[in-house]
Structure 1
Amino acid sequence: MPSTQRGALAGRTVFRVGFGAMQLERLHDDRAAAVALLHRAAELGVDHVDTAQFYGNGFVNGVIRDALEAGDDFLVASKVGADPNPGGPVPLRLAQRPEELRASVEDNLRALGLDRIPLVNLRRADRRPGVVAEGDQLVDLDDQLAVMTALRDEGKIGAIGLSSVTLDILRRALPAGIACVQNAYSLVSRDDEDMLELCVAEDIAWVPFFPLGGAFPDLPKVTEEPAVQAAARALGRTPEQVGLAWLLHHAPNVHLIPGTASAAHLEANIAAAGIVFDDETLAALDAVPSRSMASVLSRSMDEGRD
């Protein structure tokens, strides 16, 4: 891939298309296939994998451990702020308190077989999408950052990231040294453009999740936009590839973590890094209107209560 498709993340230069490992849980009954998929990702140049202990209640971290032990060279990014909740109505429960954050890091270290996790994202719970904190899970950012910086000082984590945060939270966290921000963001849901601009200015990586929108039934989908479909037809690509490629073109600090349990889909995601847009196509994509994810989710919740 061109050198422009490599970028800085947690002190390392990596390919800007990583691998979001959550979907490996779908291969729970075929661990060998899950490991083989990671091997294939490494063969294609992927060197950044995003995970969490609550993905498959440790199964995904175990698969990554197998891949690392087999020689794959991944920058591993995990996240804390939630823990596995097997048997519950959702597969995770919030774990925002400082002692829970420390315990979550220790759980990740054991499962991954690492002495140090290169990047750990603190998943806050004060905005949607996702579970919003209540009661004793309403924890001040400073208390959380204190334990995260202590873990970094101890050498258990290499860098601190933030996930599901507001612009105010990011600004407050900057003195702690933030390596990346993971927020929901796509061509059709650009709520956090101001935050992305701040990250560019501060050399902070921007790692969007839900990069194609549509993660919930009422949210817009990138692949349904006429401009995206037109670009895909003209380029001989899929709308999904166009949506991912737009993110890489939009800002130099964007790193993608699309996930899949399919080798063919993996290869298609990685190939998106090779797409080049002419000025007219890029202008048409830039002109796609952004619909606020927060307002769509709020409206959906209100309608559900009626």
Structure 2
Amino acid sequence: MAPSAEYNIPIRPRRLRQTKNIRRMARETRLSTDNLIAPQFVMEGENDREEVSSMPDTYRHTIDRLVDHAETLSDLGIPAVALFPAIPDHLRTPDAEHALDPDHLYPNAVRALKDAVPELMVITDTALDPYNSDGHDGIVRDGRIDNDATIEVMCQMALLHAEAGADIVAPSDMMDGRVGALRDALDAAGHTDVAILSYTAKYSSNYYGPFRDALDSAPRSEEETPAKDIPDNKDTYQMDPANGEEAVRELMLDLEEGADMVMVKPALPYLDVIHRVQAASDVPVAAYNVSGEYAMIKAAAQNGWLDGKNCAMEALTGIRRAGADLILTYFAEDAAQWLEE
């Protein structure tokens, strides 16, 4: 049927959607490997890797296998990895003492990565939950997370990581004042070039389950620990999912304390928060596309309910569109390969 002559539509947005090339020319948001950070899990042992059961195609690597994988990531153009340790249960204590051993798994992994792939940026985590027998990001005393005692340990951890070669330390604990304390400690020890990526708005989210499977880092129940009055969640230090303005307040504090980069975690349920933080920030903004977000897409794809590749790329593009300059994602290796196609 011929169009009616009475229609006068001078503005037609569809003109810029007609072909693949014109869509490319009009595209507002671009995703590249420059935006990707690959989280990596390291474990004890040699020449081995273990798949995380709730995170298909994601593995815990021994240091030698981690180095091999890091070389692959670097060859794909991924600029950085965020490293997380799977610490054996017998080395975990209420004071997280093992975190300060200069010759344990984590600093040894950092040294190995920087020796083998020096151009790859290594981001280390200073939270205590991998080392804490209570499963918390901080030291538990009298049934409460002791903010200042936790910071004291974290400062020592940050120095250990910097001495091992870490390029960026990333406090993921949400203790008050930790960015300033870490900056002071690093600078006083001569590590002025080590940057801080603060987990500025880390929410007390239900999307962390698969990550906690990977590291066995969930808060321990009363049945699992002899200590009494151990909190069974992280609500007293991680943020309430209902709050958005609070994230901007946390941002202002982190910037005042010297954060070089800031982060929102999780990403997909908090795109509005990413946008708010980006609008108020004068440093790069990262977002963590967390394990639960990854696992949902992978599970749906394995069941044939979604196109895994296209949904993953749509999710990452959405996180970029919301304002993230950097995205920590378990899709990093796949996304880098897809971007080359």
Bigger proportion of residues as helix: 1
Q: TM-score, normalised by structure 1?
A: 0.49
Which entry has the higher C-alpha Rg, 1 or 2? 2
